[in-house]
Amino acid sequence: MPVFSRLLLLLAASLFLAACQHGPRKPALYQYSTLAALMAGNYEGQATVGDLASKGDFGLGTFNGLDGEMVVLDGTVRRADSGLRLNTAAANTLVPFASLVFFAPQGQAQLPGLPDLPGLSSWLDTQIASSRLFAAAKVQGTFARLTIRSVPAFSPPYPGLMEALKSQTVRELSDASGTLVGIRAPAETSGTAVPGWHFHFVSADGTTGGHVLAATPAAVQAAWMSMDRMVLDMPTTGKAGTAAEIPGETVGGATK
């Protein structure tokens, strides 16, 4: 066998062995833009809903101009408008911020009685091996009480996010059936991602949803997964923002 052919075979064998040793690539959280940019009022993106299809089938975000809350469940991208009505987002709709993953549960369980959203978040934390991992959770069932919100669209010059949220619509639901879509980022990523758990809601009948401000689980089941890495894409225009613009104690309740 010619020397060149032997070298090619050796190279192919080395690559194969390396792939076997490292195994398949671990799942990653995909994110478009940063929390700091969103807090600073960068509500214009270059990504589209169609682009997100290759990034994940589960997650959350918002739309250009801060036009409603994004909920991605089972590959369908829904928008909760300012009236908290759900509709399917068109593929060409622009997106300034989104966090997505291809959801592949690593565990699931029927939840015990939990009093509120912090209690749910804490319980989910106990299922994740480390606080330094990213995580995603799907929580399905009935909620004795649920408080959700959405916001109207804004036009340039855009207000910062905290100012924009003064225009939010808030609705309280009782005995609400549906799904919470949750994403968690480690505290160390503050400024880039939303630290802690961040939930959006889709009702079982697909008519209403939004960002979750409060929840009292009644009879729910959770499935979850963790990730040790994040893939970040950035828009090349608009404000970048800084971590200093993020009020640490209100991030979980205030952000998209």
Convert the pLDDT of each residue in 78-90 to its tens digit: 999 999 999 999 9
Q: What is the 3-state secondary structure (H, E, C) of 203-243?
A: ECCCCEEEEEEEEEEEEEEEEEEEECCEEEECCCCCCCCCH
Interatomic CA distance for residues 3 and 215, integer angstroms: 68
Beta bridge partners of 99: 31, 60
Q: How far apart are CA 31 and CA 36, in angstroms?
A: 13
Query: Per residue in 224-256, pLDDT tens?
Result: 999 999 999 998 875 555 544 444 433 344 455
At residue 23, the pLDDT reads 54
Low-confidence ranges of the chain (pLDDT < 70): 1-25, 238-256
3-class state of residue 248 by DSSP:
helix
* 157 cis-preceded (ω within 30 degrees of 0): yes
Architecture of domain 27-233: 2-Layer Sandwich (3.30)
Predicted TM-score (pTM) of the model is 0.86
CB 215 within 8 A of CB 146: yes
